[in-house]
Every structure is written in structure tokens, then in C-alpha cells.
Chains A and B, each alone.
Chain A
Amino acid sequence: MAQEASSSTSSKTISLKTGDGEIFEIEASAAKQMKTVQRLIDDLGDDITIPLHNVFSKELPKIIEYYKKDITGEITKDFEAEFVKDLNDDEVKVLFLAANYLDANKLFEFLSQNIADRLESKSVEYVRKYFGVENDFTPEEESKLREERAWSFRGIKEDE
């Protein structure tokens, strides 16, 4: 049955099951773009529902939407802008991690850029909260870093 798939990949659909138990269908050609999925298909065959423990029903549809557009070769800047327009920072992050898990290169690169763009204008504290990072600098180290940055971006600062 696995052989069947290779001859008619263009029309075949693959079933994906998210971590919270929902099932979604995608075209085999879209599945090819997600290397993790493809690997699982290669191992398990394409008639079985592929389990994706780390991806959930909230984000998978969006990812599928992206790759549906990708196989028709229609991904443009406009499309990408629309794609992320209504997503808040947390949703983007979740998608980003999912894309990483799925090893979906194109989406991953696009989202990394989008996150970088979003972070550019944010404060350090926000970034820490966003990623759940703990500030492990000592106060001395912090003030040294602050000093280094201060002259770059804020204007003349006198010596202490």
C-alpha cells in the first residue's frame, strides 16, 4: 500500500492527528514540506493517521492553510502579511514552535523573521516574559550591559 502512495502522491491526502486528538487532512504534497511528517510517513506508511503530539488543533489549521497556498506557488508578501496580521505575539510563537517541530522550513523562516520584527521594538522585559526567560544577570553585569547600550541609542550620557 505504501507503493500506491508514491505513484499518486499528488492527489493523496494524509491524515494528521493533533496532540489534543483532532484529525486534519492535508495533501501529500503539502505533507512533503513538513519534514517531520514526511519522515513519519516514510516510517509508518501513509494510510495511517500520523500522530503529532506537539502540535495542537489551534495551530495546525493555520499551518495547513500556509502550505495549501504554498503548493499552488502563490505565497506572496501580501499573503504573508495577511497571514500574520491578526495573530498576537503568543499565537505567532506557538506557530513558530510548531513549525520547528514539524520541520517546515519555509514557514519556519517566515515566522522567525516575523518574530524578530515584532521583538525589534519591544523592551527587554517584554522579551523575557514572552519567552519565559529568567534574568540571570547580576546587577553589576546588568548595569554594564545597560551602559554599553545606552550610548548607542539614547544620546549623550555622562560618565558615572
Chain B
Amino acid sequence: MQHSTIAAASQSSRGGDSAESSDIKPAKKRGSYNCGRCGLPKKGHNCNVKTPVSATPATTTPADSSLSVVSVPSSAVSVIRQPSTNLRRALSFEGLDDRASGLDLVAVDDKEDGDSFPEPDLEPDLEVLEVSDLDMDFDSCGLPSSLRWEVLRRLPPAGLLSAAKVCKGWRETARKLWRATEELKLRVPAKVHVGFVASMLQKCPGIVRLSLRLESDFDSTMLACIAFSCPNLESMEISIFNTATNRINGDELGRFVADKRNLKSLKMEGCSNLGGFVLCSSSLSTLWLSDLHSLSKMVFNCPQLREISLEFSCQENEGTDLITMIEGLGRICLKLQNIHIASMRLSHAAVLALTAAQLRGLRMLSLVLGSELTDASVAAIASSYPNLELLDLSGSGISDSGIGMICNVFPETLRRLLLALCPNVTSSGIQFATAQLPLLELMDCGMAICDPNFPDPTADENDCKSLKTSSANLQHINQKLIIKHSRLKKLSLWGCTGLDALYLNCPELIDLNLNSCRNLHSERLLLQCPTLQNVHASGCQDMLIEAIQSQVRNAFPAIDNHSPSKRLPDGSKRVRVPYLLSGESPEPEKKRRRIERIPCNVLVD
């Protein structure tokens, strides 16, 4: 079924976490309490740890820099369609395009720390740092200590570990850097012993934010290690890749959460072994769990919870009782502002449980994959929570009347509306929404107007089945959309194979997704969107792609793209890469032009 693709997307989003290291007093050295090999406490401990291993040199391989492709393989789900990522992104507080930062870190990398390291004089503990005082005292370490710090702090952790080998002075500087580290993002390759992680964590007792990208299993030993080594932990993110398994069970998780008094944010993937849990925390404010499967019990005793995201697996035997869980949420977590639940078992009863709760602060509601949800559910939501800023009912059975209800209730607050994979929505519904919701900034109508004769190629499943085969199908071909909206920034019409004409007049539109709009006619496309930066057109007809290119080019008459290369006054030659080949936005460097335009990319990959 279609939902698998949506579920996939939600794995990945990480808002751009800007790392900050700051003034953290170095933790008291524990000295002989810890086993030297694996870092766990010596007491009652039999260390059979061999010298731990890791295979990777730390070279950062940046993730795709273009926004269009995010490939985050997750064991349980099928191919991710890029547009689906909107679902998750839209939910996060971060700006809609903040994807790149989190996933770039393939290697152990706390480089971010260095970047925002505060001015030395805010750090009384580290007396070596007086960059303002021009310390040109070249001690035996080759560089004055202040300069040493500046260079070392810009090294990735692997480099820092090596730098410590240069001489004692460097080792000392490296040590101070570790101790000052507040955020650590680690990639843990397969077959690496927990000792590796343990040892890294031991170096940075001041860790506040920890992010582990695991390619080896995540088990209770590692969790205990984190619990032990990171007393100040406020945010933890565990992502699971390749064939790694998250073996944590509910009790272990519950204990961890209860013990970490400062934990504000917890994000964990691959939670298929939880079984059932009770989470008690007075500090937790953000919780993301994915790949949940058949939980016997889900209790959230977290009164400070602001944001919750629960993604359930799409396997047939997934049988978690959502209603009880939601009732519990509604009783205790009264400060919830953002809710995201992805489950095939979402039902009207579950929605009623939600609407019965008094979640006065609810602003973002995302209930996806619930094919049983209908306009009745929309009515319930609209009447209980009239101030929503984001509503995502992708994969549901909502129809144009549901959209009508949405437009009735939410015009003054709704900024993001996502209705991807809603088979009962037609182009009139979409058009109505764009006309009636003046604050709309993001609209996702992926696969909403699907020509039943053209099953979407990226789904290996039976897309046709999902469409109700009736005369309603006639509404799904030769559809036309005319959208004029003054604030819309992102519009996604991916997979709308029933669309054959599109007229867009959106002065603030930045991103347009037309992937797989196979039947969109090149002569029936009009884009009047001067701020457009990205148009995704993979799977479209060549003529359409050309039409798009010429339209966006014509929108920017100021940009000189006739000369493929230019000799500049200083003798160097700059060659402009044609749009079609460039996967990246050209630098917005043409400041000398009076009209500043960022050229638009047409992404076809």
C-alpha cells in the first residue's frame, strides 16, 4: 500500500541542529573507577573487551547537497519518494529546507562545535584561551596555544585524536577541546565494539547533545554506557542504518528516560523491540519514535511533552492499541503542540480520543496512513482544534468536502496542508484549498490526482487498488489546476498523473515538485513564479522539462546565461554550467547586479 512510502520518509528529518559548545566546566575526572578498556564502571565488572575496533577513517562525505534527494535507507520500508519527506519536514519547527545539516555527518564530526565556539573570554576555566591578547609566544609546541586551539577546534574528531599525538602541548589542547565539546555526532560502523563509543563519550563528559548513527546494533550495554558517561545529556538521537538492529526493550528505555533528569529530546529509530513501555520524565519535551511495532502498552508520563512523533511499522500484524495510548496522551501531556502519528490503524475512534482531550496548545497535527479516516474525522478535528497551523492527513480517505470543512475552520491559522495520497481528493478540492487559505505556505497534494491508467512507477505495489474504482476515476484524468496564491512557498504535486494543465501565479513560490507528472502537457503549463528556486521534474516528459526550463529562464531576464564562459578582468575564466547539469544551486554571488535573482534549478534526477 502507499503508506509505506510515507512512513519511510519520516525516518529522517533532523532539523538543522546548530551545534554550540560553550562554557562547560570539565567534569570531575573519575579516575580509577572506570575500566580502562571499555569505560564502564569497574565495580563488579569483568572486562572481556578486546581492543575495540572501528574501520573508518573520518572523511566527511556530504550528503546530496540538492534538496531533492534524501536517501535514508531504513530496513523496514521501501523506496523513499522524495516528496514524502515533506511530511516530516513540515512537522518540524525548523524551516522547510533545513534538511542537509543533520545528514551530512557521515563521520565522527564535532566540527560544528568549533564553529560556534564562543569568544575565549567567556571561558574562565580555560585560561589558555586569550585570542584577543596577541600571544606570539611560540612555545615548544610550534604554535602559540591560542592558535593551536583555533586550528585544532576545526578538525573533525578523528583529526583531533591524531593531533593529540603530536606533543604534550597538543594533547593538552585536544583534551581541553574534548572537554568543552557539547555536541557529538558519531557514526558507529558495523562490528565496532561498544568500547569505541564508550571511549569517545568518556572524552567529552560535558556532552549535551548526542547523535549516533549506528551501523552496528544498539543494545542495552551501549545505552547504559551513554547513561553513565553523559550526565548532562539533554538531547539524544539514535538512527539505525543498514542491517543494524535496535535491541532496546521498553524497560530499558523507561529506565533511561527516568534517570536522565535533563533529557529534553529523544529521537530513536528502529524501535521494533520495545514491546511496551512506560516513560516517565518531567523534562522530556520532544519525543520521536519510529518503527514501533505491536506495543502492549504505551504510557507517556511526560507532562512537559511538547512534540511527539510516533511511527508504527506497516507490517500486517502491527496491532498497537492506539486509542488507549491517545487517551493517555490526552490526559497527561497537556502541553502538546505537535503531534505526528503514522499508523495504518488510525481510526475515527482514535481521532475522537484525540479530540476529547483538551490540548489547548495543539498547533500541528499529523495523522497519516489512516485510510479509514474520513471527513467525519476532519469535522471532529476542526471543531476541537480550530487553531491548527499544520494539518497533515496524507493517506486518508478525506474528500473535497473535508477540504471544505478545513477551509471553513482554519483560514486564519493554517499554514501547511498536506494531503498526499488521498484518493478521494480532486483537483477542485485542491484548488478550493489554495483559494480559501490565505496563509498557506506549504501544500502537498502528492498523488492526489492520479490517473488510474498510469500507475506510479516508483511504487512497486498496486497503486491502482488504492483508488476507488468508480466513476470518480473520471475526475482523475485531464485535470487542470489554476493556483494563484500570494504566500505559497512550497507546492508539491508529485505523482499527479491526472494533471494535464497547470497555471501557477505564486509570487513567493520557492519549490515546486512535479515529479512524475507524466501527463502534464508542455503547452499547458504556465509558471509565473519569480522567486522559484527549484523545480523537481523527474519522470516528466522531455518536452515538459524544456518548457519548464524556458519558463523559469524567461522569468529572470537579468541573468546573463548566454555566454557559456566568460573571461574576467583578472584573466581567470569562469564557465557557467548549464542548468540541466548542475545539481546544485549556483552561488548567489552576483551582488553587483542590481536585481538579485537566484537562478532556478530544474532537478531531473
Q: A92 vs B168: C-alpha distance in the bound complex, in angstroms? A: 24
Interface pair B587/A76, CB less than 8 Å apart: yes
Q: A148 vs B53: C-alpha distance in the bound complex, in angstroms? A: 10
Tally A-B pairs: CB < 8 A: 110
Per DSSP, are chain B's interface residues mostly helix, strand or loop, or mixed? loop
Q: What number of B residues sit within 8 Å (CB to CB) of A?
A: 42
Bitwise interface map of A from 129 to 160 toward B, beta carbon under 8 Å scored 1, else 0: 01111111100001001111111110111110
Interface pair B134/A116, CB less than 8 Å apart: no
* B595 CB-CB contact with A under 8 Å: no
Identity of the chain B residue whose Cβ is nearest the Cβ of A77 in the assembled complex: B587
* B294 CB-CB contact with A under 8 Å: no
Nearest chain B CB to A155 CB, angstrom units: 6
Bitwise interface map of A from 77 to 115 toward B, beta carbon under 8 Å scored 1, else 0: 110001000000000000011001101000011001101
| B572-591 at interface with A (beta carbon < 8 Å) | 572, 587, 589, 591
Interface pair B168/A136, CB less than 8 Å apart: yes
* B196 CB-CB contact with A under 8 Å: yes
Residues of chain A contacted by B53 (CB below 8 angstroms): 151, 155-157
Residues of chain B contacted by A157 (CB below 8 angstroms): 51, 53
User: B167 is contacted by which of A137, A148, A159 (Cβ under 8 Å)?
Assistant: A137
Interface pair B150/A108, CB less than 8 Å apart: yes
Nearest chain A CB to B386 CB, angstrom units: 47
Interface pair A116/B154, CB less than 8 Å apart: yes
* B147 CB-CB contact with A under 8 Å: yes
Q: What number of A residues sit within 8 Å (CB to CB) of B?
A: 48
Residues of chain B contacted by A73 (CB below 8 angstroms): 591
Interface pair B136/A132, CB less than 8 Å apart: no
Q: A31 vs B342: C-alpha distance in the bound complex, in angstroms? A: 58
Nearest chain A CB to B59 CB, angstrom units: 8
Q: A96 vs B154: C-alpha distance in the bound complex, in angstroms? A: 14
Identity of the chain A residue whose Cβ is nearest the Cβ of B37 in the assembled complex: A159
Q: Identify the stretch in B137-145, B244-252, B443-451 within 8 Å (CB) of chain A at 4 or more residues.
A: B137-145
User: A135 is contacted by which of B159, B161, B167 (Cβ under 8 Å)?
Assistant: B167
Q: A120 vs B157: C-alpha distance in the bound complex, in angstroms? A: 10
Residues of chain B contacted by A116 (CB below 8 angstroms): 151-152, 154-155, 159
Q: A157 vs B51: C-alpha distance in the bound complex, in angstroms? A: 6
Q: A77 vs B169: C-alpha distance in the bound complex, in angstroms? A: 33
A-B pairs with beta carbons under 8 Å apart, 10 shown: A100-B134, A101-B134, A115-B151, A128-B167, A133-B167, A145-B164, A145-B165, A145-B171, A153-B55, A159-B50
Rank and list the top 10 A-B pairs by shortest CB-CB distance, nearest first: A131-B142, A116-B154, A133-B142, A112-B150, A120-B159, A156-B53, A124-B165, A76-B589, A132-B142, A151-B51
